[in-house]
Amino acid sequence: MRYSAIFILGLMIAQTACTQTSHNSNSEKMDTSELKVKKTEEEWKQALTPAQFNILRMKGTERAFTGKYYNFFGKGEYHCAACGSKLFNSDTKFESGCGWPSFYEQDKDANVKLHKDSSFGMVRTEVTCGTCGSHLGHVFDDGPAPTGKRYCINSESIKFVEKTDSTIKK
């Protein structure tokens, strides 16, 4: 019984650490002038699934331990689900125990932007796609070496592209 209560408490803490339920006014306003992909919110709504739109455009989140990539460790790259830009490499993915896909660094060719987020009485760093401005998740300073970072990313905000013999750089 005691361990069950501790486990449930741990899940609740993990959920709030990465959770953001809707667009809020406490995040720094993003400079959209540098974005390469610009669409109206109606265009995004037509292009994305309702879950993707909620996360990518409304800054929502998926529940912990429910995303298709949180416990997935295939070899390849992770791209933005909205615009296709490269974000993370599978070699930097690790099991953080938080319930979301976690990476210790972005891909060297990635176009990832970081923004201050002070919603829900916390100060966090929001991760967005630098190409289209979509919300991906948050980054924390409790990850493994060599960076000490934990990019906590929603599965709905990324798309896995498998690495095949023809796509491996030589």
Helix %, strand %, coil % for the chain, to 5? 25, 25, 50
- Residue 132: CB partners within 8 Å, gap ≥ 6? 35, 36, 37, 38, 39, 80, 82, 83, 85
Told to judge if 18 belongs to the known catalytic residues of this protein, a careful annotator would answer: no
Q: Is the dihedral of CA 119, 59, 135, 36 positive or negative?
A: negative
The dihedral over CA atoms of 50, 134, 127, 150, expressed in degrees to the nearest 10, equals 50
3-state secondary structure 63-129: CCCCCCCCCCCCCEEEEECCCCCEEEEHHHEECCCCCCCEECCCCCCCCEEEEEECHHHCCEEEEEE
User: Which two structure tokens, joined as six digits, stand for 109?
Assistant: 């060719």
- Given 18, 80, 132, 152, the catalytic residue: 152
Active site residue ranges: 152
